[in-house]
Structure 1
Amino acid sequence: MNEAVDPDSPIGQTARAWALAVVGEDFPPERSRQFGAWLDADPQHRRAYEQAEAVVMMLGHLPTSTAIEPARRPAARWRAPALVAAGGLLAACLALVVALPGPAYETPSGQSRQVALGDGSQVTLAPGSRLRAASRWRPRALSLDRGEAFFVVAHQGGQPFTVQAGDALVRVVGTRFNVHRGAGRTVRVEVEQGVVQVSDRPDAQDRAVTLRAGQTVVADGPTLAVGALDQANLAGGWRQGRLAYDDAPLAEVVADLNRYSQRPLAIGSPATGRLKVTAAFDVAQAERFVAELPRVLPVRLTSDGRGGRILVAADPKRAPEPRAP
């Protein structure tokens, strides 16, 4: 599927002018040749014109056509004020269309999802995650609102593919990588193949780091900490049912566990959530991992009275309490 052209780009603006000119003036042979040459100069020109023409047709200014034949256009004559008004209306309509939100993809707890994007890219969305396109005209600009996703990006004429997760911006052309958005501001990116550029905010490309296969970065506010995976194919290990953490906040681990479980797990205080965890385990063993947390961290597990559980700070002055069932 061909990617739409931004109507506010130079090509989009020129296409808009041609769409209005077709209904606003005679097309002598020389003018038709100019129009045809512009259309044939770049496939994007024809796509942009078709978009602009579709908006004009939506406004009722052009008859529907199945092919662009500049030399055979009817010679419609408009008065100048009407043409100016049409131009303003077309621009306003295009602005409205550009502002329309793009598609969003969500998964419930315990379920993943395969998503095929219009540009040929593929996304595997982790449980409890939400991903959306910036707009209908920018399908290669995505935002990860929560959770985690693994991307296999298709090359498309050098056009970048971006994923924003919190303050972090990931920018690629074609590659395989994983993006994890933590419970707070922390974002983790892992690269399986290709090259990925990560910045701590969209307008800070001068502070971006470049990752290659087998590398990872944790973006936490203005800090970008680059590390290495044991193997490049471990990027997005959740796809094989494996969760791994290296000095990660307990709050991040709990947020992930809640995306895989129907039984809520909460944290009793911010201080408890900041405790660090280094562990690796299968998702199928998540309940066992939770039950063992009091053995390795100063926490205890209690019931919330509603079927869920809470991790609270252990009280050294009190005898250990029975674990929550």
Structure 2
Amino acid sequence: MAPMTAHSPRHDFGPSAQEQADLREYADFAATQDGVALAAATWFSRHGNLDAQDQSAFAAWLAADPAHAEAYAQLQSTHRVARRIPPQVAARWAVPPAATHVTPQAPRRHWLRALPYAAAAMLLLSVGAGGYQWWQQQAVFSQSYATVRGQRLAVALPDGSKLQLDTATQLHVTLYRQRREVRLAHGEALFQVQSKQGQPFDVLSGPLTVTVVGTQFSVRNTLEHDGKLRVAVQHGQVRVAGARQDRVDLRAGQGVSSDASGRLSAIASLAPGSVASWRDGRITFDNVPLGAALAEFERYGDTGFVVRDPAVARLRIGGSFSLTQLDRFAAALPQLLPVQIVRNGTVSTIGMAPKAAAQAPAMQLQ
């Protein structure tokens, strides 16, 4: 009697018992999947082993319905993303090794037995890669900060960066695993950014985006106040992007401004110590109209100053002044400009000095 073997009988017709079991297993698997997605996964899992006939069939499948090509393209994109997934993360979605093992005794059934697992692996990979992308996009820290008129606030972020908010400032910080983002609604903030490889730090305010890796700079949004946005760099380097592809790189001691449309000005040189001078309780002006200077003081609190003459409002002033000692500013003003101050209760009206009033046409040329 011939010895018994452990192999199933081989025939030249019809599938074997094992092949029939494989087909039933595949049918059960396929019944739980979306048909187009499964077909795309099946073709993708075989894309390196297609003969001429298979290539023709694959091309026909792609052309049969735009949804086929779209599903296949999504799978290709998923595969590219998956190649960037860290091994420790990808391991969570790996198909067990035993599932893809094929014995040497069954070469004819290799593609059939591997197909359900290969297709399943591709579908699982699609879910896994999508989950990884979703996971990467979730914030690890999200917090809003705000100051009222006259208030300043220092903030330490979990990434080691530090913020200092000026008066009447509102912003929102969101930290992700691969990027950091601050949205400055209005006001001014000084940023001291902790450098982190692969984690850029973006400040978005109005139409501007300021991108930095590690530096110290300020962003000011007073669009409602004077129609301007300003960026000033104290240390390091930042890139400022405005509208219509406008983009400039700023280094320490440089600044740029923008209007509401995102049109950037020419790069300006900054006076030493002028970046966020409000940190030291001071305010600095560089040849600005008196009306604008008084409006800036008003951002920090009531001053009691009133200017009714447009010619006086246009007079220009420069210097550094204390935010808490307005009496010294009032005392210095007539020494700096041809004006006089008339006090009436809590209101101090700044007007043209009598001698200068006779020369008003000349003063208006400034």
Within 2, Cα distance between the matches of 1:269 and 1:139? 50
Within 2, Cα distance between the matches of 1:271 and 1:135? 48
Within 2, Cα distance between the matches of 1:274 and 1:100? 49
Q: Using a 3 Å threshold, how does the CA distance of structure 1 residues 256 and 173 change in structure 2: closer, same or farther?
A: same
Counterpart amino acid of residue 185 in structure 1: G
Within 1, Cα distance between the matches of 2:84 and 2:95? 18
Within 1, Cα distance between the matches of 2:174 and 2:311? 35
Kept in 2, the 8 Å contact 1:166–1:185? The answer is no
Looking at both structures, which has the greater relative contact order when contacts are Cα pairs under 8 Å and sequence separation is at least 6? Answer: 1
Q: Using a 3 Å threshold, how does the CA distance of structure 1 residues 217 and 20 change in structure 2: closer, same or farther?
A: closer
Asked if residue 214 in structure 1 is aligned to residue 253 in structure 2, the reply is yes
Within 1, Cα distance between the matches of 2:162 and 2:310? 37
Q: Which has the larger helix fraction? A: 2
Asked if residue 112 in structure 1 is aligned to residue 152 in structure 2, the reply is yes
Q: What is the aligned counterpart of 1:192 among 218, 234, 244?
A: 234
Q: CA RMSD in A?
A: 5.1
Q: Using a 3 Å threshold, how does the CA distance of structure 1 residues 99 and 173 change in structure 2: closer, same or farther?
A: closer
Within 2, Cα distance between the matches of 1:271 and 1:139? 49
Q: Using a 3 Å threshold, how does the CA distance of structure 1 residues 166 and 300 change in structure 2: closer, same or farther?
A: farther
Report the alpha carbon displacement of residue 288 of structure 1 after superposing the two structures with TM: 4.8
Structure 1 runs of 4+ off > 3 angstroms?
10-15, 18-23, 97-102, 134-139, 247-256, 262-279, 286-303, 309-314
Aligned to 1:151: 191
Kept in 1, the 8 Å contact 2:191–2:217? The answer is yes
Normalization by structure 1: what TM-score?
0.56
Question: Number of matched residues?
Answer: 250
Normalization by structure 2: what TM-score?
0.51
Deviations 1:72-113 (A, max 9, x none): xxxxx9xx8xx89x959x87x959x85999421111222211
Within 2, Cα distance between the matches of 1:271 and 1:30? 86
Asked if residue 132 in structure 1 is aligned to residue 192 in structure 2, the reply is no
Q: What is the aligned counterpart of 1:174 among 214, 232, 245?
A: 214
Aligned to 2:96: 27
Within 2, Cα distance between the matches of 1:270 and 1:133? 41
Deviations 1:183-229 (A, max 9, x none): 2331222211111222323x62xx32222112222223413132222
Deviations 1:209-259 (A, max 9, x none): 22211222222341313222232x442211112211224466654453233
Q: What is the aligned counterpart of 2:269 among 228, 232, 239?
A: 228
Secondary structure of the 1:128 match is coil
Gaps of 5+ in 2: 1-77, 101-116, 358-366
Kept in 1, the 8 Å contact 2:202–2:210? The answer is yes
Kept in 1, the 8 Å contact 2:145–2:170? The answer is yes
Gaps of 5+ in 1: 1-7, 32-76, 320-325
